[in-house]
Amino acid sequence: MTTAQESRPRLSAVLRQRSERALTTLGEIGVLTGEAARQLLRRPFGWAALIEQIESIGVRSMSVVVLTAVFSSMVITIQFAFQLARFGAKEWSGNAVGVTLARELGPVMTALMVGGRVGAGIAAELGSMSVTEQIDAVRALGADPVKKLVVPRLLAMLLVLPLMTSMAVVIGTVAGGGVASLDPDVHFNYFINAALRSTTLSDFFSGMVKTLFFAFNIAICACHFGMTTRGGTVGVGRATTQTVVVTSVVTLVSDFFLTKLFLAVGWE
């Protein structure tokens, strides 16, 4: 009985400590967001750094995005075709796959994969700079680390992730048509035409708006955890893990709330 009574205050203290830490992190991310927005409007603009980040985030992530789009779309095509065949509506699988890719699967899967790869890379890179005092050296030279390090990565992510999501939707639809055409009852051209007919501009732009939220979340969280890294190489590993976990969870949670919002305003 005494042990149970002692564990309750201990559990309460742990929950309070974690809540305070989460709120502190949220506040720091908000401050970093405001500073990044302010620095974005100040000259000079680092075009070279932006192009470098676009290449690092976009071009080097193409293989991951393509593989994810191809195999995830093939899986859902097989599942839709199998389930719809029970109701004699196998030919409707193209409609379901097209809308699913445009609204949900394309944006979410792309954000999760890019967040895991790019977010971890940004956190590790900035974390290494933080523990070796390179960020302090940037300040000592009179430059703003947010302007030099955060703004190019944030802008590059906002530009590149919607393009990669669009590519994932197109490639995924083609891959779904390819695997559906293995069934003699479904023709490839019919599948593609059905996907195009059922997917409207509203569906596509709904996914693109979600992608912008996901891109911002990945970039700002990765930059925050990287620039606040302490504790040497152990701290860098911890920051990388935190970035992957936080960006993945926030992506899934924000997807739910954005979907509810779009349904409420009649956009879905």
Q: Where are the domains of the chain?
A: 44-264
pLDDT, residue 8, reads 62
CB atoms within 10 A of CB 163: 14
For 175-201, the pLDDT digits (tens) are: 988 888 887 777 888 888 888 888 888
pLDDT, residue 11, reads 67
**Rounded Cα gap, residues 77 and 205, in angstroms:** 22
pLDDT, residue 43, reads 79
Amino acid identity at 98: G
Helix (H) or strand (E) holding 169: helix 151-180
Q: Which residues of the chain register pLDDT less than 50?
A: 1
For 27-76, the pLDDT digits (tens) are: 888 888 888 888 887 877 778 888 989 988 888 888 889 999 999 999 98
Angstrom CA distances, 31 to 36, 143, 152, 155, stand at: 9, 18, 17, 17
pLDDT, residue 213, reads 94
pLDDT, residue 189, reads 87
Exposed (0-12), middle (13-18) or buried (19+): which is 50, by Cβ within 10 Å? middle
Tokens of 219: 């970039």
Angstrom CA distances, 253 to 24, 247, 248, stand at: 20, 10, 9
Ramachandran quadrant class, 231 (left: phi over 0; alpha: psi -120 to 50; beta: rest):
left
pLDDT, residue 217, reads 93
pLDDT, residue 232, reads 82
* 156 contacts 106 by C-beta, under 8 angstroms: no
